[in-house]
């Protein structure tokens, strides 16, 4: 694994810096969950960090003269050291069907013009890449994905939209992502998926998790309507 650093985050959390290797991050999270210790509250993955929240009062009872931060840092180092260099995170591979362009992707033509490409070339570049979910943020279930081709990296819009439909696939700078819920936003919308990315009533509300591998699959508007209807049932 790359070098890992620890730093306090307030008086009830430790932030682990994991550089840009998100799959190592998922492996660390899995290991912490398996070796859960007294006082652990929550593990929150970030783009290049993992923040481990703990109850300092519960830790104080068992920290044997160390500060709560020192004790939790020690426990986390022990847990991470047990992983071993040979172990790798086995990520889920998820296919996201997307209908590109038209009313579902109103900014596709703008992205194409910005890069002096055809719309079809933008679609091919977007759909030919393998992406990794680095974190879920901004809105419940919103995945920040790495892996976008620099050939279609496009600045965010100067004026954000006040309404973006759920399932919209966008490009913002060097990242691509999917809006799981209706919301405002400033990314360039190039298509839409019929899949439900966030269901608050499900046992696991977010379809995507940090560490997942994603591929986009172009579909027609008719296929989009059929899949969208199937999602309702």
- pLDDT the model gives residue 216: 98
- Which tokens sit at 54? 């703990």
What is residue 48's predicted lDDT score, i.e. its pLDDT? Answer: 80
Q: Which of 171, 20, 167 is nearest to 96 (CA)?
A: 167
pTM (predicted TM-score): 0.77
**What's the farthest any 2 CA atoms get from each other in the chain?**
66
Helix (H) and strand (E) counts in the chain: 6, 13
Give strand pairing partners of 143: 136
Residue 219 to residues 13, 34, 191, Cα–Cα distance (Å)? 44, 40, 10
What pLDDT is recorded for position 89?
59
Spell out the long-range contacts of 69-76 with Cβ–Cβ below 8 A and sequence spacing 24 or more: 69/8, 69/11, 69/14, 72/14, 72/39, 73/6, 73/14, 75/37, 76/6, 76/14, 76/16, 76/32, 76/52
Q: Which domains does the chain have, with CATH numbers?
A: 5-81 (3.30.1360.40), 93-232 (2.40.100.10)
Q: What residues have CB less than 8 Å from 159, skipping those under 6 apart? A: 186
Position 3 scores a pLDDT of 67
End-to-end Cα, the chain, rounded Å: 44
* Mean pLDDT, each 10-residue run in order, the chain (233 residues): 80 85 72 87 86 93 89 91 66 94 97 98 97 86 92 96 96 95 95 95 89 94 95 80
């Amino acid at each position: 694994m790359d070098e890992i650093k620890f730093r306090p985050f307030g008086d009830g959390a430790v932030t682990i810096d994991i550089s840009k290797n998100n799959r190592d991050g998922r492996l660390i999270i899995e290991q912490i969950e398996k070796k859960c210790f007294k006082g652990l509250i929550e593990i929150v993955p970030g783009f290049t960090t993992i923040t481990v929240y703990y109850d300092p009062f519960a830790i104080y009872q068992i920290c044997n003269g160390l500060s709560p931060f020192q004790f939790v840092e020690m426990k986390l180092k022990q847990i991470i050291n047990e992983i071993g260099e040979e172990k790798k995170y086995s990520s889920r591979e998820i296919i996201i069907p997307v209908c590109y362009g038209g009313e579902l992707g109103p900014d596709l033509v703008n992205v194409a013009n910005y890069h002096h490409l055809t719309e079809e070339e933008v679609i091919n570049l977007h759909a030919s890449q393998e992406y990794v979910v680095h974190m879920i943020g901004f809105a419940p279930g919103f995945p920040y994905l790495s892996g976008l081709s620099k050939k279609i990296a496009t600045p965010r819009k100067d004026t954000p939209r006040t309404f973006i439909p759920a399932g919209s696939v966008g490009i913002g700078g060097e990242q691509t992502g999917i809006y799981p819920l209706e919301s405002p936003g400033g990314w360039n919308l190039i298509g839409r998926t019929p899949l439900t990315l966030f269901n608050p009533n499900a046992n696991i509300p977010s379809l995507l998790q940090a560490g997942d591998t994603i591929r986009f699959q172009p579909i027609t508007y008719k296929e989009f309507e059929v899949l969208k209807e199937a999602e309702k049932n």
